[in-house]
Chains A and B, each alone.
Chain A
Amino acid sequence: MTPRLLLCGDSALTIQIGETIDAECNARIIALAAEVEAAVRAGALEGVQDIVPTYRSLLVCYDPERIRGAELGSRLLVLAGQPRETAQARRLWRVPCLYGGEVGQDLEEMARMKGLTPEELIALHSGADYRVYMIGFAPGFAYLGGQPEILHTPRLPKPRQNIPRGAIGIGGQQGNINSVAGPSGWRFLGWTPVRSFDASRPEPFLFRAGDHVRFHPIDAEEARVLEARSAAGKMIVTPEEIGL
């Protein structure tokens, strides 16, 4: 896991630590992001405009009029060479999921592909412990790792145009909870009334990188009741602290 730089044009750089989804590597990225943020706040790193910690890499956007990529890259490698642990209390979110139906349109086909019944597939999906590896793609969109291997499925060759907010899906080895409606090439198993992003809430973003998530099946009636509360601006889930 030697950090290396990947080129992202003339105003961004990616520093990559590993190739795979792995909690230790992800924790290092979250710690590196915190260090870069601290250096920017302290005025020690000029020209950095935005950072995006992901599973195994950190994207850093810069203003070439204030810092050149070559200099920024070597400074990032120095920071990444001194790994530090961050002590962040872990939170567990129990997220209700309505499996199948209109939003979970790929449940039956995926079960067939895997040689499982839909019920077996639901049991596997809701039995796993997921880690929020990163927030990205769309506001508050949580990428989940920890998917049982049998559920790993390539994305669709052609993205679908309109997948609703709350859709719960699988793309490759990753899981997700759709935070806003939009196009997606993922395969979807179900839907949750939990809103992971709502700009009108005092805290617009529900999840943060490092959180844990477990799904539990609900029926259509429960989903309807929870959705009504969500739509009224109420929080329908609260996280449990599960220690370090």
Chain B
Amino acid sequence: MTLDVLSAGPMLTVQDAGRFGLRHMGVSPAGPIDRAAMALANGLVGNAPGAAALEFAGPAGSFRCDRPVRFAIAAADCVIRIDKRVVLAGESHRLNPGETLTVGAPDGAVWAYLAFSGGLDLPGVLGSCATHLRSGLGGIEGRAVRAGDRLPLGEQTPDAPCLRPESPVFLHEEGPIRLVLGPQDSSFSPEVIRSLTEREFIVTPQRDRMAMVLGGVELPAAKGHDIVSDGTVPGSVQVPGSGMPLVLLAESQTTGGYPKIGTVASVDLARLAQMPVGARFRFSLVTPAEGEDLWIAKQARLRQMLRSFVAKPESVLRSDYLLSCELVGGFYDVEEILRPVTLPDRDRRP
């Protein structure tokens, strides 16, 4: 019940729902950058939304398992191969022992998720196996996954069907990124506050799981860039002395000493984090109550989506069944057998 990592991309980590209840000790929640996308990947293999799965930016890598499993990739299209056969993101597939799963870089998003039926079964550190790279907590020795790692898999229902969504899934909305002003918006002049919504920001390459730096607009703080440190959350828009705003993400620190001009609305934080480098966007202001309403509506849509999966039609001759018959040893390729049969001409009746 193990997933072997044959090769790993530069940013492949184990994440689960996150580490809660220890922020007062300086412990970041960590967990996925895009919670909805991870819930989708998990849901497609029959797992709970927060089951431990792999998050990746750039190519994920290649993997093998020692028992039949179902897997799904969500958040973005990417090139996914089972041996040489190309399969789609956004629905689940079977991976059998002996087959190699290769997963390329997300296309059109930054962070994507690879979930396996039964989830990854790793020991929790301070209550969670979410990897927090900065403090070296969770996952595998608190670090990114690398080639040679062996990840234990949890219990699964082997005969459960592969799933796909009933209709196309849109995880994120469009339009400006919504922002609630505060807690230190009063450190900035009215002109700077206006430039927040009137000008375009650019996503810079300075980004990781902790934060992303925005360019395009400088936000000098009239009252200076040092405050008496206070609490921060994922979504906090901190402005250090450079004037370049820094949006905290899942791996955010718990407190910080830079003024925070605003907080990205929960509903839009993952959408912002998924924007590619060079993307341009605007902020629009909402009140906390509006942000709450948007979040509550989004959670309802997500739950609805997670309930609406349908079983994918599968051949009776499933590849794991065929493998169990040892048909494939030397003579046949599973692909050959599953291909529709064309009858020779002579058997056709007039």
Contact = CB atoms under 8 A, between A and B. Distances in A.
Max count, chain A CB within 10 A of own CB: residue among B134, B228, B265: B228
When A and B form their complex, which 9 residue pairs have the shortest distance between CB atoms, in order from nearest?
A: A59-B231, A10-B291, A136-B255, A9-B263, A7-B182, A6-B183, A157-B241, A64-B292, A52-B231
B257 A51 contact: no
B265 A55 contact: no
Max count, chain B CB within 10 A of own CB: residue among A54, A134, A139, A205: A139
Interface string B273-292: 00000000000001011111
Contact of A137 (B26, B260, B265): B26
DSSP class of A's interface residues: helix, strand, loop or mixed? loop
B266 interface: yes
Contact of A199 (B28, B29, B137, B229): B137
Given A65-B296, A139-B135, A172-B257, A54 B26 contact: no
Contacts of B260: 8
A68 B23 contact: no
B296 A64 contact: yes
A19 B183 CA distance: 13
Given A7-B288, A64-B296, A137-B254, A52 B134 contact: no
Contacts, number: 190
B257 A174 contact: yes
B117 interface: no
Interface residues of A, number: 57
21 contacts: A8-B182, A9-B266, A10-B288, A10-B290, A49-B20, A50-B24, A59-B232, A61-B23, A69-B292, A70-B289, A136-B229, A136-B231, A136-B255, A137-B26, A137-B253, A138-B28, A139-B22, A172-B228, A174-B228, A174-B229, A179-B26
A138 B253 contact: yes
B184 to A, nearest CB: 8
Interface in A103-142: 134-141
B140 to A, nearest CB: 14
B233 A12 contact: yes
